[in-house]
Chain A
Amino acid sequence: MANTKFLVVDDSLTMRRIVINTLKSIGFDNIIEAADGKDAVAKLLSEGADFLITDWNMPEMSGLDLTKWVRANQQFGEIPILMITTRGNKEDVIEAMKMRVNNYIVKPFTAPGLKEKIDQILKTVGTGAA
């Protein structure tokens, strides 16, 4: 699990750095990044990834559209997706769950909160549960 390759997607350079630093602090250092959904698709196709952490509001291609693309893609369709966004309305959360994100974090997030969600997802994926 420590070798899980993460793709971190956010149009904010600050947020990408924070997420990446947090991942490193909890033991994950195999990380690539993208500045929007379109860039993320290119990175997935060229470098691959095992776990996607994505923002929602992004230019070119939103996190929701990225999730839709991933879930429709044969090669990456089942990789875990964690949405990290400022959007906290019930409707937004449900819309993301309908697109089959594995879990949802509202910004600002905490390091223990991120670790907890990642551990839960990796454990669930490991057991094959939804």
Chain B
Amino acid sequence: MGKKRKAVAAAVPQGGWPTRDSLDKFVKVVSGVIPLLDSIRESLEESTGSIPKASQQLDNVTRATESATVEILDVLERMSGRVRTLGEALAAGRASADAEAGRLADLDGLMASLASTRPDILERWKEYRAAPCGTCLPAGLDAEFGAISADAMSIGMALQVQDITTQQIAGVSHMIESVRMKLAEVLQSLMDGENPPPAVPAAAAPGGHFDADAEYSHSPDRQVSTDEIVERWKRGHNG
């Protein structure tokens, strides 16, 4: 009897057995938690279902910007071609103008010989030569064409931003996919052996072929420091 009493006494929790009131409260709390867990599960299911759509939308953004960028590059290529053609025409025009100037100089000599016999024709010739040239090519056109070509090239180079933002977006998609997988694990543990959670399609996440730290910067510093690293390497390994 002594041993039994001791065993019962040892089984009594510190603070005594729970009362009926406290047991009622406990059941009430647990009853409240179950619908809460159900609500969490539903939210998780909804979230994991939405994530693939978000990734797909990011992928659509990347495709759309690439498509638009290539269109712009096409236009720039056509522009550059046209400027080259104009430049070639300008050069041909200048060559013709130089030949024309030579012929007019010859005529100046011939006309001068008419001074005594036909001074009226000589006078008219002088008026013609003194008038502004209506067919001459304006000065500075070469420089303008060069500037247009340079601007087209600058636009083309700036479009590198599309590649860089694509990589940044790919980094975000990768993170989204990681979150989706974690959520799916949590969802699975909440289901805890009950009916398995509905299959959630994988997000449209890219493989590892992106640089999430890619940055678009005009500063020459990155290339300068890269050049220093390359030069140091070459010095160290060419000796």
In the bound complex, do residue B209 and residue A11 qualify as a contact, i.e. CB atoms below 8 Å apart?
yes
| C-alpha gap A103/B162 in the complex (Å) | 24
* A76-125 interface with B by 8 A CB criterion: 85-88, 90, 93-94, 97, 103-111, 113
| Segment with Cβ contacts to A, from B48-56, B190-198, B230-238 | B230-238
Q: Is the CB of A94 within 8 A of B229?
A: yes
- Write out the residue numbers on chain B whose beta carbons fall within 8 Å of the beta carbon of A17: 70, 73
Contact A15 B160 (CB under 8 A): yes
Q: Which of A87, A105, A107, A129 sits near B163, CB closer than 8 Å?
A: A107
Nearest B-chain residue to A107, judged by Cβ: B160
A25 CB–B CB distance under 8 Å: yes
Any chain A CB within 8 A of the CB of B167? yes
Interface size on A, residues (CB 8 A): 36
Chain A residues near B160 (CB-CB < 8 A): 14-15, 18, 107-109
Chain B residues closer than 8 Å to A97, beta-carbon distance: 229-230, 233-234, 237
Cβ of A21 within 8 Å of any chain B Cβ, yes or no, is yes
Whether the pair A18, B166 counts as a contact (CB closer than 8 A) is no
- With a cutoff of 8 Å between Cβ atoms, the chain B residues found around residue A54 in the complex are none
Chain A contacts for B217, CB-based, 8 A: 108
In contact, A21 and B73 (Cβ under 8 angstroms): yes
Whole-angstrom distance between the Cβ of A60 and the nearest chain B Cβ: 8
Q: How many A-B contacts if CB must be within 8 Å?
A: 104
Evaluate contact between A94 and B156: CB separation under 8 angstroms.
no
Is B210 an interface residue, CB under 8 A from the partner? yes
**A123 smallest CB distance to B (angstroms):** 14
In angstroms, how far is the closest chain B Cβ from the Cβ of A110?
6
Chain A residues whose C-beta falls within 8 Å of the C-beta of B211 in the assembled complex? 56-57, 85-87
Chain A CB within 8 A of B115 CB: no
The secondary-structure label for the interface of chain B is helix
The smallest C-beta distance from B155 to any residue of chain A, in angstroms, reads 11
B233 contacts A94, CB within 8 Å? Answer: yes
* Residues on the A chain within 8 Å of B222, using CB: 88, 106
Is B73's CB under 8 angstroms from A12's CB? no
Q: What residues of B have a CB within 8 angstroms of the CB of A130 in the complex? A: 234, 237-238
B223 adjacent to A106 (CB under 8 Å): yes
Which of A11, A85, A106, A129 is most buried by chain B, counting CB atoms within 10 A of its CB? A106
Shortest distance in angstroms between A61's beta carbon and chain B's nearest beta carbon?
10
Residues of B with Cβ closer than 8 Å to A? Answer: 66, 69-70, 73, 76-77, 80, 153, 156-164, 166-167, 206-211, 213-218, 222-223, 225-226, 229-230, 233-234, 237-238
Closest 10 CB pairs of A and B: A86-B214, A108-B160, A12-B163, A97-B233, A86-B211, A93-B229, A59-B209, A57-B209, A15-B163, A14-B69
17 contacts between A and B (CB under 8 A): A12-B162, A14-B66, A15-B163, A21-B73, A21-B80, A21-B153, A21-B156, A57-B210, A59-B209, A86-B211, A94-B229, A104-B226, A104-B230, A106-B222, A106-B226, A108-B161, A108-B216
B-binding residues in A (CB < 8 A): 10-15, 17-18, 21-22, 25, 56-59, 62, 85-88, 90, 93-94, 97, 103-111, 113, 129-130
